[in-house]
A and B are shown apart, each in its own frame.
Chain A
Amino acid sequence: MSATYQPGVAAPSADAASSPPAVVVDRLDKTFKLPHNQPHTLKERVLHPFSSTTYEALEALRDVSFTVPQGEFFGIVGRNGSGKSTLLKCLAGIYEPTSGAVGVNGRLATFIELGVGFNPELTARDNVLINATMLGLTRKQAAARFEDIIAFAELEQFLDLKLKNYSSGMNVRLAFSTAVQVDADVLLVDEVLAVGDASFQQKCHDVFQRLKDEGKTILFVTHDMGSVERFCDRAMLLEKGEIVELGDPIPVGRAYNEMNFGRRTVTRPGEARYGDQHDAEIGSLWFEQGGQRVDALAFGEPAAICSELWVHETMEEAVFSVGLRNEAHLPVLRATTEWQDDFPNRLEGGSHYLVRLEFDCWFAPGRYDATPALAHGGRAEDIVDMREGLGAVLVHAVRHSGAIVDQPVRFEIESA
């Protein structure tokens, strides 16, 4: 164990470059020992003093190093079990690092869970004062800020109600209001934004914006790529306890989405196939982005649908088309070579072709499938091969407007 906590003084300085970093994590490892059968009693221990327990080592964090400068809003993302919360708890000093060091410069406040220590039998007033003390305020400070806390939570009428009579939403509002009153230079926040109704969420966002403007350093764990993009200056992606990506929030958010959807191959059982496939056959179909075969597309980026054609007999007027449907089976894209004058109509018999359809991926996040079709031109009914839903893809985005298609738009305003 080599955790080192060195005393230091937070140096609030206008010149961020010269001030020490707010958070330093240096080659942090955290391994949990999960005993296979732990003797949970003194009796067992006395009866079998030499039976050694076997452990399963769970490496929750492996060689994690990063530095967060003062005043930065730093996002930590990752799938469940990737080590986010363990990292936060190591930073908070709740867990002891197995090796490596963590350091926090300045006063630290941790919001791992809201309303920890709230007692349902006590009134809101008592609970706020207790919780504020737990979080590090003095009694005087807590009493002085009490009005603000209650006003922010909008619970003025319910001050002397026991907490057990509160709705869960009121509970959370009270807890959040108390938590944000705490003075700290560095805040560790674990997914607390997803609380309350829409108007309260807006208030929470405002608070975070305010904290950001005040130059607080915030480490923020979330699953919501929208808030990562909105608030974070930088972000970090953890997977299996290791840093996968660290830097600008947008690529990190994208990497997170790819991690969630990308490695999964989506196949459709029982595809319907039409045509006699005598003159030609459609082989496989896949999606490409950035020159690579992918199973998931990043929103807003150029992408391509690729399909193989095996032509047996020469086709003079071949027409290739592709349709893309969303989950609701609504067509969102249909393109045919008929509309493109420079596309060669003639396909040689005995050849192997690769067709690419390039498009910009403005489709809403979700699952899509592609249906390629090959036909003799001019005779629309004469389908050679059509394979319904041959390929499928997921589109992921950090934003979601709710519309089927999110093409790039731009507002302008002028006084009229």
Chain B
Amino acid sequence: MSAPAVPALPWLPDREAAGRFVRLTYTLAVTEWKLRFFNSALGYLWTLARPLMFFAVLYVVFSQIAKVGDTVKHYPAYLLTAIVLFTFFAEATGNSVQSLVDREALLRKIRFPRSVVPLSVCLTALFNLGMNLIAVTVFLFINGLYPNPRWLELPAFVLALALLACGVSLLLSSLFVRFRDIAPIWEVVSQMIFYGSPIFYTVSQYGSFAREMSLTPFVAILTQMRHALIDPTAPSAADAAGGMVYLLIPCAIIGAVFLLGVWAFRRASPMLAENL
């Protein structure tokens, strides 16, 4: 047989393939979201319920019992916003871990870019974040915090967080196919990130490690969030890190995690269907 004139599995990122990729991700995410939302009459309330309950518990513990929040201006507002942002990350990554295995039937029967699956999970989490942020905005109003130009930084935080979440999701979901204990491990790691991040406390409480910790993505994002949304007198991420230039470090970490995720996923991708 002469060199086969064989082409056209749409692998090259041409416009059509890219369009399909986006459509698929969006469709899967919307479907998942719809299912959660419209399946019960209280759909929206339920998605809100988790962060709100969590908020209530933490608020009681840290502001009324442990008195952590006394020194923090607008502590409840800060706490809720931080929880909602963290919930997005935890939901996106936690749901992604098993996403490929859960959609085994799909992956074994239809050809489509496999990364659509974890990315659609992240997108669903992003929709939920959007819904939760509406509630957060209302809560901020109640606390006497009104929109100002600094709020425009919010999309940047969300983008940074989303990139981080996508990178981690791609990495974890491809690893989970081979290592099934990734799921419980990630649950623990996720908890560690929660307690290690300035969610119910602020960056100054790290004491002498405050500057080093400020170089990690989560701490930087939450610190800047506090500065921009809650309390302009609080230190910005740049202040905490010791200068604008140092913010390149958390950015680089986010970029590296994202690229690592993409690399790991692309490597695992061709054999995914048979390894499931």
Chain A interfacial positions (CB closer than 8 Å to B): 4-10, 20-21, 24, 26, 32, 40-43, 45, 65, 67, 89, 92-96, 101-108, 110, 112-113, 116-117, 119, 121-122, 126, 129-130, 133-136, 138-139
Contacts and interface: CB of A to CB of B under 8 A. Distances in A.
B6 A133 contact: no
A6 B106 contact: no
Given A119-B31, A119-B35, A6 B7 contact: yes
A133 to B, nearest CB: 5
B20 interface: yes
A92 B111 contact: yes
A5 B8 CA distance: 7
B271 A105 contact: no
B40 to A, nearest CB: 11
B108 interface: yes
A24 B274 CA distance: 23
B7 A7 contact: yes
Interface in B244-276: 270-271, 273-274
B109 A9 contact: no
B42 to A, nearest CB: 16
Interface stretch (B56-64, B133-141, B148-156, B179-187): B179-187
Interface of B: 1, 4-9, 11-12, 19-20, 23-24, 27-28, 31, 34-35, 39, 105-112, 175, 178-182, 185, 270-271, 273-274
B111 A105 contact: no
- Residue in B9, B34, B106 whose Cβ sees the most chain A Cβ within 10 Å: B9
B179 A40 contact: yes
Contacts, number: 125
A20 B5 contact: yes
Contact of A26 (B1, B107, B270, B274): B1
A127 B107 CA distance: 17
Given A113-B109, A121-B39, A122-B31, A105 B185 contact: no
A112 B6 CA distance: 22
Nearest to B6: A103
Q: Which 9 A-B pairs have the closest CB atoms?
A: A103-B6, A8-B7, A24-B4, A41-B181, A42-B179, A96-B270, A116-B109, A93-B111, A20-B5
Contacts of A121: 35, 39
Given A105-B7, A121-B35, 7 more contacts: A40-B179, A94-B107, A94-B111, A105-B5, A105-B6, A108-B9, A122-B34
Nearest to A112: B109
B108 A94 contact: yes
B6 A134 contact: no
B271 A41 contact: no
Contacts of A108: 8-9, 111
Given A26-B4, A65-B1, A112-B109, A136 B20 contact: yes
Contacts of B180: 40-41
Contacts of A138: 19, 23
A116 B179 contact: no
Nearest to B116: A134
Contacts of A106: 8
B179 A45 contact: yes
B174 to A, nearest CB: 13
Contacts of A4: 6
B24 A133 contact: yes
- A-side interface mostly: loop
Given A41-B179, A42-B185, A121-B35, A10 B8 contact: yes
Contacts of A105: 5-8
Nearest to A27: B1
B8 A104 contact: yes
Contacts of B9: 5, 93, 104, 108
A135 B179 CA distance: 30
Contacts of A8: 5-8
Nearest to B35: A121
B1 A67 contact: yes
Contacts of B182: 42
Nearest to A103: B6
Given A110-B110, A119-B31, A130-B31, A21 B179 contact: no
A203 B1 CA distance: 38
Nearest to A92: B111
A138 B21 CA distance: 11
- Residue in A7, A8, A32, A43 whose Cβ sees the most chain B Cβ within 10 Å: A7
A314 B210 CA distance: 117
Contacts of B175: 42
B7 to A, nearest CB: 3
A134 B24 contact: yes
A128 to B, nearest CB: 12
B18 to A, nearest CB: 13
27 contacts: A5-B7, A6-B6, A7-B12, A9-B7, A20-B5, A26-B1, A40-B181, A42-B182, A94-B111, A94-B273, A96-B270, A101-B4, A103-B7, A104-B8, A105-B5, A106-B8, A108-B8, A112-B110, A116-B110, A117-B106, A119-B31, A121-B35, A126-B31, A134-B106, A134-B112, A136-B20, A139-B23
